[in-house]
Amino acid sequence: MERLAITTFSAIMLIIKQPADLSAYLQKERRSGKKCGFIPTMGALHQGHLSLVNRAKEENELVVCSIFVNPTQFNDPKDFELYPKTLENDIYLLEKAACDVLFLPATVQIYPPGKVHDEWYDLGELESVLEGKYRPGHFQGVCQVVQRLIHIVEPEQLYIGQKDYQQCMVIKKLLSLIHVQTNVVICSTLREPNGLAMSSRNMRLSPEEKGKAAGIFEALSYISQNIQPGTLEHILAQAGNILSRYGLRADYVEIATAADLRLIDNWNGQTEIVALIAAYMGKVRLIDNMILPLNFAGYGN
Ligand code: AMP
């Protein structure tokens, strides 16, 4: 177990690398009645991640954040290789946010060699639409790592971001499949001043590309402001045009039911829906979404 103290901050954050050390520490803390909030991340932290830490700090006596770039959720090896790593700054930011524990396992601790790691989770339709369709195997990898982390940390509350809307649904499904009672808290998306959703992947964009990537937010806002009951073909095409104008190459622009992510091409004006986009700016793939208001013009609700 390592201890890291930065004298400018009053709190001390533990950095723990071994799962057994973390379990032992958390067990001891729990005996004094502390409730644990957990934020799993892949590092390259930004204010979006920290908003989850801050929320967890407000709602729990003990906050654990993990940094682990999970190899099994990358369907593209190049994406895994290029995933940004900024550990020193991450530690600095977590200390500043008064995070209590940083769990920093190595791959061998999460996927011990000599053991078979071939679980399969029945995620139903969630696995074949949107991110599931474009990133085959991605959500199985997410489930593998989240199951392992949850079993190590056993948090009362898990904090995840709406930015990864489908992942939120997958994680909820996973917890029900493995019969874990952890409460899932979905936190809203933090954005740059131009609307671009904060993401570790933004670090790979040039300043000019960051400007253009805000086209994703513009397209989502366009949908949100102009959606009407009836066929959605035209509005989706218009949103696609906005992306093209900014030089964004879309994998998908879709509208789905918010509750179960069923893709729809016609809206009854009453069901809660979400618009979702995945698009490339250069070589960087970005995703974002917006839950659409039901108080559109014409219905007065
Ligand atoms: P990641 O490190 O990308 O795996 O993200 C770790 C957690 O932070 C996930 O639950 C994400 O949904 C969440 N997150 C990522 N970006 C944002 C953001 N801009 N605002 C709020 N939460 C976010």
Whole-number Å distance between alpha carbons of 25 and 174: 26
Structural domain contains residue 195: no
Alpha carbons within 13 A on the beta-carbon side of 30: 13
Residues 232 and 84 in one domain: no
Q: Tokens representing 235?
A: 């509005």
State whether 15 and 145 are in the same domain.
Answer: yes
Please indicate, yes or no, whether residues 35 and 175 belong to a single structural domain of this protein: yes
pLDDT tens digit sequence for 143-185:
999 999 999 999 999 999 999 999 999 999 999 999 999 999 9
Q: Which residues contact 10 (CB under 8 A, 6 or more apart)?
A: none
Q: Which tens digit of pLDDT belongs to each residue from 229-255?
A: 999 999 999 999 999 999 999 999 999
Q: Is residue 299 one of the residues assigned to a domain?
A: no
Nearest CA to 109 among 63, 70, 82? 70
Q: Is residue 194 part of a domain?
A: no
Q: Is 186 exposed, middle or buried (0-12, 13-18, 19+ CB in 10 A)?
A: middle
Residue 299's pLDDT is what? 43
State the sign of the Cα–Cα–Cα–Cα dihedral 126, 127, 133, 138.
positive
256: which 2 tokens? 């789905």
pTM: 0.94
Is the pLDDT reported for residue 228 higher than 90?
yes
**Per-residue pLDDT tens digits for 257-298:** 999 999 999 999 999 999 999 999 999 999 999 999 776 544
Q: Average pLDDT of 201-230?
A: 97
> What is the DSSP pairing of strand 2-4 with strand 273-281?
unpaired
Residue 15 lies in a domain: yes
Domain boundary among 155, 187, 219: 187
Q: So what's the pLDDT on residue 111?
A: 97
CA dist., res. 254 & res. 164, Å (int):
15
Same domain, 144 and 69: yes
Q: pLDDT tens digits, residue range 88-111?
A: 999 999 999 999 999 999 999 999
Name 266's bridge partners: 231
Q: Residue 121 has which token pair?
A: 């989770």
Output the CA 32–ligand 1 centroid distance in Å. 30
CA distances from 127 to 6, 117, 132, 173, 244 (A): 43, 19, 5, 11, 27
> Looking at the structure, do residues 133 and 251 belong to the same domain, yes or no?
no
Give the model's pLDDT for residue 295: 65
Give yes or no: residues 106 and 166 share one domain.
yes
Average pLDDT score over residue span 4-33: 84
Task: Indicate if ligand 1 lies below 6 Å from the C-beta of 190.
Answer: yes
Strand partners, 102: 15, 65
Residue 104 C-alpha to ligand 1 middle, in angstroms? 17
Q: State the burial class of residue 144 (Cβ atoms within 10 Å of its Cβ: 0-12, 13-18, 19+).
A: buried
Considering only CA atoms, which residue is closest to atom 14 of ligand 1?
A: 161
Out of 142, 164, 187, a domain closes at 187
What is the CATH classification number for the domain harbouring 24? 3.40.50.620
Q: Among the three residues 160, 187, 214, which one is the final residue of a domain in this structure? A: 187
Whether 217 and 182 map to the same domain: the answer is no
Same domain, 132 and 242: no
Residue 192: inside a domain = no
Q: Which two tokens stand for residue 203?
A: 């670090």
Q: Report how many domains make up the chain.
A: 2
Do 183 and 37 belong to one domain? yes
Confirm if 246 and 194 have CB atoms less than 8 A apart.
no
List the Cα angle 149/152/153 in 5-degree steps. 85
Domain assignment of residue 1, yes or no: no
* Same structural domain, 160 and 206: no
Write the residue with the smallest CA distance to atom 12 of ligand 1.
161
Dump pLDDT digits (tens) for 109-120: 999 999 999 899
Strand partners, 15: 2, 102
CATH code, domain carrying 208: 3.30.1300.10
Q: Domain limits at 280? A: 200-290
Nearest alpha carbon, ligand 1 atom 6? 41
Residues 35 and 139 placed together within one structural domain of the fold:
yes
Q: How far is the CA of 177 from the centre of ligand 1 (A)?
A: 23
Q: Which residues are catalytic?
A: 49
Euclidean distance between CA atoms 111 and 117, whole angstroms: 7
Residues 157 and 13 in one domain: yes
Task: Give the three-class secondary structure for 40.
Answer: strand
Asked if residue 34 belongs to a domain, the reply is yes
